[in-house]
Amino acid sequence: MARIVMPVAEGFEDSELTVPMQRLREGGHEVTLLGSEAGVKVRGKRGEASVEIDETADHVLPEDFDLLVIPGGHSPDRLRVDPRIVDFVRRFFESGRPVAAICHGPQLLIEADVVRGKTLTSWPSVRRDLENAGATWIDRELVEDENLITSRKPGDLDVFCQALESQI
């Protein structure tokens, strides 16, 4: 059984959190929701899902987990102003273990300063931010570059989840 951590805040893209979380849990894996404040309920931007934050970055270590998955929506933009979350993401990435992000999720990777020299995909509006941060952006449903896995949108969730499952 693998341990997965998913940073999440208010306004996450509902399916980009719930679909991978459900598939990973059905596979027998433990999923921990990481946020700015434990015990707080956050809602998806479409109002279809709400979840409770399990832990903060003050109380867990990147070494405690096997995989990091960043859902999109407004959540990554909110999380990138929390230096504890940004530091956690940076240290996790630097460990060499798999890091996955979908849609707007790469915004958090940009803030963690880990995209320079990498090839990624994302929601189209994040393209310029990625390029300005030194990444190469391509429009493809799944892009894998070393320990980095990225997808564009909810329509890519099936291939995104397959890539996650292949990592654990």
Active site residue ranges: 103
Helix (H, G, I), strand (E, B) or coil at 16: helix
What tokens were used for 27? 């596979």
What's the chain's Rg over C-alpha atoms?
14
- C-alpha to C-alpha distance for 13 and 8, rounded to whole angstroms: 10
How is residue 20 written in tokens?
């991978």
Dihedral, 75, 125, 113, 133 alpha carbons, nearest 10? -170
